A and B are shown apart, each in its own frame.
Chain A
Amino acid sequence: MDLKEKLVSSFMAFENNVDVDHPVHDIRTEAIKNFEAKGFPTKKEEAWKYTSLNSVLKTDFSIFPKEENALEYHQVKKYFLHEIDTYKIVFIDGIYSSYLSETTHDGVDICLMSSALTKPMYKPVIDVYFNKAASNDESLTTLNTAFSREGAYIYIPKNKAPKKPVEIIHFATGNEASLMLQPRNLIIAEENAELQVIERHQSLTGNPVLTNSVTEIFAAKNAIVDYYKVQNDSEQATLIDNTYIAQKDKSVVNVHTFSFGGKLTRNNLNFYQHGEHIESTLKGVTILGEKQHVDHHTLVHHQQPNCESHQDYKGIYGEKSTGVFNGKIIVDKIAQKTNAFQQNNNVLISDQATVNTKPQLEIFADDVKCSHGCTIGQLDEDALFYLQSRGIPRKEATGLLMYAFANNVLESVRLPELKKRINKLIATKLGVRLGFDL
């Protein structure tokens, strides 16, 4: 039985464990139908031209973990941003770990999707927001919707901001030979609300894990949301991250994606601007080696006038790795005075690495400023020579330049501790020994 059949046939078992009378279940049943009709995407689809799921789908993943697993904090401390205090929503093999978590209901709700989907007090919010930004068409998103039950639920009311950043961490223990996880996150920042989130998926062994995650983010008028994705998983992990962001007037949403680990990572990051004077920022650093494959698909849909979007993705590809960037900007007819910028720069450092990039503009309004640029190239030989002439060996000089190339994306990271952490990850990944403190 292939994975698609297995998933479809296990939907009935799943239904035994959820409230089938809840309106959300109608959405789930509709979604499983859509997924059944469409199946997993193939390379024949334009959006999957450069990424094949075939080898991943051959694995016989368990869809529900057989038993609950526990972890001690000291085992996983290094995956937390432990230098500062944070709220934590932690899952172990897809199951909430109250032991490792720190949630709150103090003026804001930072808690679990499973509670939000079952407790009546959350129903009004769920009715308004659940699955309202996510696609009903994209097959992996519908698959997640069908099995949506657990994940993070964050609700920040008008004029509020949580006291500290929120970390969402998914651990895979590897106690299961191969596990499929489908977390579903819902994040809402009401008018003038502010929020910072760090999301991470981490396998603790080399056993294969397939994560198909969907996150919906709603930013109301004047809200500010910073979202950081740290993708540094083990070499057998596959992550499909579908993020949908709906913004209203004058809101600001910044998403940073740091992709260093994992076997195959696919990011579908979609921004929909539903108001004026919105700012959307999408930034990413990707550093790959071995046979790693990362595919960034971004969409910014400018639907109203006077909005801005900025995209800046940097990639360094070594060994037999493959990088894909497909950035789409759509500017609707009424979205006059749009400013949309997109930049994608790549460095290939191995003979066997590949980069495929497709920056795409679809413009229907005339009074707009849109531009994209992309480059594939090497490090500046003059700069290398300059460093060497100052006594820095070529290898270190190369590392330093690559570090500098990737590093400027970090300027907009507003959590200093996280910036430091990412800096270190970049340095480690590039094998650069930094003689200075960050």
Chain B
Amino acid sequence: MAYTEEELKKELETKEYEYGFYTDIESDTFPKGLNEEVIIALSKKKEEPDWMTQWRLEAYRGWKEMIEPEWANIHYKKPDFQDISYYSAPNKKPKYNSLDEVDPELLNTFKRLGISIDEQKKLAGVAVDIVMDSVSVATTFKKTLAEKGIIFCSISEAIQEHPELVKKYIGTVVPPKDNFYAALNSAVFSDGSFCYIPKGVKCPMELSTYFRINQAGTGQFERTLVIADEGSYVSYLEGCTAPSRDENQLHAAVVELIALDDAEIKYSTVQNWFPGDKEGKGGVYNFVTKRGLCERNAKISWTQVETGSAITWKYPSCILKGDNSIGEFYSIAVTNNFQQADTGTKMIHLGKNTRSTIISKGISAGKSQNSYRGLVQVNSRAENARNFSQCDSLLMGNECGAHTFPYIEAKNKTAQIEHEATTSKIGEDQIFYCNQRGIDTEKAIALIVNGFSKEVLNKLPMEFAVEAQKLLEISLEGSVG
């Protein structure tokens, strides 16, 4: 007899979160709560200059006046922002010169996650900037990059070492009061990555950051700033996994990308934070603001594979300000069990001859809800703007939902916009066809899902694509429809 749906369901339910373990490292953690004193203390602890402290306070004051948005198609218990600790750092030495100095327990954690730093360093040629909770603990390959004039470091370090760059660009794409979560992040961001590629430089390797959440009750507020100067190129990888926890954890990151004239930024994300257990208990709340600004002839390409988090609220966007600039968004969002995802993009066409492409693949299983929400806006001065959008949903089982909310606004008669959306399921005839060729049901589903997601997977850098495929399989195991 073939594998039945019931058996598959059972197996899925018993499948624990693959990366669900927790490292015990003593932490230097702030007491819970948020007010101006906490922000000043945080800024002081990080030895920030006064302008940064003031910038945070300004954002905090803005945030206090704002209300948490409710328009997204997600339902959750709102976090108590006074019940969160806004600073936590691994307690050992603040910085390491080599990996040998890193807490062996931490290294072990990374190994179990499959992120063996030393191996990756050698084999993949990836420079890894690891954020363990909030403080950057290891930065590799810095030297190689420095020779090209590339700056790749933690944002805290950048505030110390390159204040002129940070001051010039931070908050220019995502203003401190842009939205509720961005304002909160601006006030309390703990750490994150900073990257600057000088004029005309092609970054020789994929830059990569692994974020983790590893401390009970600590929210994470990363801040990433990537600046590609004129004619430069960088491919940036961001990957996330988090240990299993009972309590909901809040994550509110801000990512700003600036692509100056003729520059190109490729930003890829694989997100696999703890999605909660099969009852929908626990899991990460992921409220992220990601936005890029394109100057003349510049290109920004977002690729994301979202399989984790209990709640995902995320719209990586492009402001196509310069003439001939290009924005791309390729996304796979998988939801299972009780996960909820409301994700998509905004393409704002301001310059002439600007082009954008949106390919979104949503896969819903279990009792999850998966929404695409997007905006394509063509301004009155954006002559000859082009957009193509495609949103496909795959439903597995009859207890989940797939939703599409595309907003399309055109104010220029030369605009050409095409939007398509489809909904489908995995057909029994497809499964039988695969079975007949000797492929079992579980593998057949993986194969079909892979085919469905192919256009997006193809956009990922090689080593990431493999990891992403694995993640898709793990996330959907057993959820046959």
Q: In the complex where A333-B399, A361-B403, A363-B403 touch, is A374 in contact with B408 (Cβ < 8 A)?
A: yes
Given contacts A370-B423, A373-B421, A378-B416, contact A365 B398 (CB under 8 A): yes
Whether the pair A377, B421 counts as a contact (CB closer than 8 A) is no
Instruction: Report the nearest B residue to A352, measured CB to CB.
Output: B380
Q: Is the C-beta of A372 less than 8 angstroms from some C-beta in chain B?
A: yes
In angstroms, Cα B404 to Cα A356, docked, is 16
Say yes or no: B419 contacts A368, CB within 8 Å.
no
Q: Are A348 and B421 in contact (CB under 8 A)?
A: no
Given A371-B420, A375-B417, A376-B415, do A356 and B395 touch, yes or no (CB 8 Å)?
A: no
Q: Does A357 contact B (CB under 8 A)?
A: yes
Most A CB within 10 A of own CB, among B396, B397, B409: B409
Whether A358 touches B406, Cβ cut-off 8 Å, given contacts A351-B412, A376-B415, A377-B417, is yes
Check: B143 CB closer than 8 A to any chain A CB. no
B121: interface (CB < 8 Å): no
Residues A377 and B415 in contact, CB atoms below 8 Å apart: yes
Query: With A363-B403, A366-B395 given, is the CB distance from A348 to B418 under 8 Å?
Result: no
Answer yes or no: A127 CB below 8 A from chain B CBs: no
Most buried by B among A354, A361, A367: A361
Inside 8 A of B378's CB, which chain A residues have their CB?
376
Alpha-carbon gap, A376 to B380, bound state (A): 14
Contact A356–B425 (Cβ < 8 Å): no
Given the complex, which residues of A lie within 8 Å of B408, measured CB to CB? 355-358, 374, 376
Asked if A351 and B413 sit within 8 Å, CB to CB, the answer is: yes
Q: A362-B401, A366-B395, A370-B422 are in contact. Are A376 and B410 (CB under 8 A)?
A: yes
B3 contacts A by Cβ under 8 Å: no
Q: How many of chain A's residues have a CB under 8 angstroms from any CB in B?
A: 35
Chain B binding surface, main DSSP class: strand
Taking the closest CB of chain B, its distance from the CB of A106, in whole angstroms, is 47
Given contacts A363-B403, A364-B401, contact A369 B417 (CB under 8 A): no
Give the chain B neighbours of A358 by CB distance below 8 A: 405-408
Question: Mostly helix, strand, loop or mixed at chain A's interface?
Answer: strand
Give residues 358-397 of A contacting B (CB, 8 Å): 358-378
CA distance A356 to B415 in the complex (A): 12
| A350 within 8 Å of B (CB atoms) | yes
Closest Cβ–Cβ distance, residue B188 to chain A (whole Å) = 29
Residues of A within 8 A of B415 (CB): 348, 376-377
Contact A375 B380 (CB under 8 A): no
- Point out the residue from B395, B405, B409, B410 that lies within 8 Å of A360, measured CB to CB: B405
Binary contact track A335-351/B, C-beta < 8 Å → 1, others 0: 01000000000101111
With a cutoff of 8 Å between Cβ atoms, the chain A residues found around residue B91 in the complex are none
A150-161 vs B, Cβ < 8 Å mask (1 yes, 0 no): 000000000000
Assess whether B423 is in contact with A359, with CB atoms less than 8 Å apart.
no
Indicate which residue in A46, A350, A354, A366 contacts B409 across the interface (CB closer than 8 Å): A354
Contact B397 A362 (CB under 8 A): no
Give 4 closest A-B pairs by Cβ, nearest first.
A366-B395, A348-B413, A376-B417, A361-B404
A residues within 8 Å of B by Cβ?
Answer: 46, 333, 336, 346, 348-378
Apart from A371-B420, A376-B410, what 5 extra A-B contacts exist at CB < 8 Å? A353-B413, A357-B409, A358-B408, A359-B419, A360-B403
